[in-house]
């Protein structure tokens, strides 16, 4: 299925600053980039940054003397995914987890799994099947945390959310990640474009490492899991911010879109459909 995504960002800089942006779709077998364009006004030096062990495609922009700045990214992506029988997914004990997944077991800035350990075992310890365990976590978050725009700040962490019980997609993802890690399931942050998300914005959800695959979960239930375009992965939002600013630049406007390419047919697979069909969705094949 082909999706057209776009991100239009406007910044204002007080003095020469550096921006590290994370808006590019990742490359992978599951995400073939058919075409892609980045436009920056005025014309500024742009550099691509990659980091060993990460698929994120950061770009670095130097504002130089420019006071105002506009960055537009557009791409057409052919998205692919695998469906796996949920019932057949096997537990992979910590004793068999690959080294590369190891870091996703450790606590991070917004996912203090070390402090959520007893709670996680009390609530979900009895569920043995790993996929069911994560689904129970997703249900619990959906049932107990209310999606309230503006209720949290960039400092809000999973430890806050588990008690305060309000948040936005980023907070839902952080709590999901923290609870999974507390239960020894590697979990990572996922940010990306989401088809039919209302209102359109960059979305955040999370992935768990089950049976040597990264399966995608969304505790907000707002996104079609088969219509996500992956932009950033990381331990948490600290690793996948749309923009990290060094110097003094402020975002004046941000517009995100994600549409179906004309003629494409789409059959939504959200949380409800996956459950009904008894399948799990792997969107990082080849990554």
By CB under 8 A, name the binding residues for a copy of itself.
Answer: 18, 20, 49-54, 58, 60, 62, 93-95, 98-100, 102-103, 105-109, 112, 114-116, 118-119, 122, 144, 146, 153-155, 159-160, 162-166, 184, 235, 238-239, 244, 246
Q: Of 231 and 258, which has the nearer Cβ to a copy of itself?
A: 231
**CB 64 to a copy of itself: min, Å:** 10
Neighbours of 117 (CB within 10 A): 17
Count other C-beta atoms under 10 Å from residue 60's C-beta.
15
When the beta carbons of 34 and 148 are compared against a copy of itself, the nearer one is 148
CA 170 vs CA 43, 77, 236: distances in Å: 32, 24, 9
CB of 275 vs a copy of itself, minimal distance in Å = 24
Identify which of residues 29 and 246 has a Cβ nearer to a copy of itself in the complex.
246
For a copy of itself, the closer of residues 1 and 20 by Cβ is 20
Neighbouring C-beta atoms of residue 182, cutoff 10 Å: 27
d(CA 61, CA 241): 15
Kindly tell me which of 76 and 244 has the beta carbon lying closer to a copy of itself: 244
Give the shortest CB-258-to-a copy of itself separation in angstroms: 26
State in angstroms the smallest separation of the CB of 50 from a copy of itself: 5
* Residue whose tokens read 């557009």: 74
Helix (H, G, I), strand (E, B) or coil at 2: strand
In angstroms, how far apart are the furthest CA atoms of the chain?
Answer: 59
**What is the total residue count of the chain?**
287
């Amino acid at each position: 299925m082909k999706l057209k995504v776009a991100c239009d960002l406007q910044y204002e800089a007080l003095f020469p600053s550096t921006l590290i942006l994370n808006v590019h779709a990742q490359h992978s077998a599951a995400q073939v980039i058919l075409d892609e364009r980045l436009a920056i006004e005025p014309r500024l030096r742009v550099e691509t940054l990659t980091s060993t062990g990460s698929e994120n495609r950061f770009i670095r922009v130097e504002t130089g003397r420019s006071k105002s700045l506009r960055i537009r990214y557009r791409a057409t992506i052919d998205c692919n995914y695998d469906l796996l029988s949920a019932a057949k997914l096997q537990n992979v004990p910590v004793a068999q987890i690959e080294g590369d997944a190891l870091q996703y077991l450790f606590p991070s800035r917004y996912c203090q799994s070390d402090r959520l350990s007893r709670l996680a075992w009390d609530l979900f310890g009895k569920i043995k099947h790993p996929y069911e365990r994560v689904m129970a976590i997703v249900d619990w978050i959906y049932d107990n945390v209310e999606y309230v725009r503006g209720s949290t700040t960039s400092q809000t962490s999973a430890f806050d959310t588990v008690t305060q019980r309000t948040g936005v997609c980023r907070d839902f993802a952080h709590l999901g990640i923290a609870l999974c890690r507390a239960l020894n399931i590697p979990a990572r942050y996922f940010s990306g474009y989401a088809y039919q998300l209302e209102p359109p914005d960059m979305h955040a959800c999370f992935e768990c490492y089950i049976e040597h695959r990264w399966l995608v979960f969304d505790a907000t239930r707002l996104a079609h899991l088969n219509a996500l375009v992956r932009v950033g992965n990381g331990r948490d939002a600290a690793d996948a911010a749309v923009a990290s600013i060094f110097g003094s630049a402020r975002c004046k406007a941000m517009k995100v879109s994600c549409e179906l390419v004309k003629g494409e047919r789409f059959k939504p697979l959200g949380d409800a459909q996956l459950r009904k069909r008894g399948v799990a969705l792997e969107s990082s094949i080849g990554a």
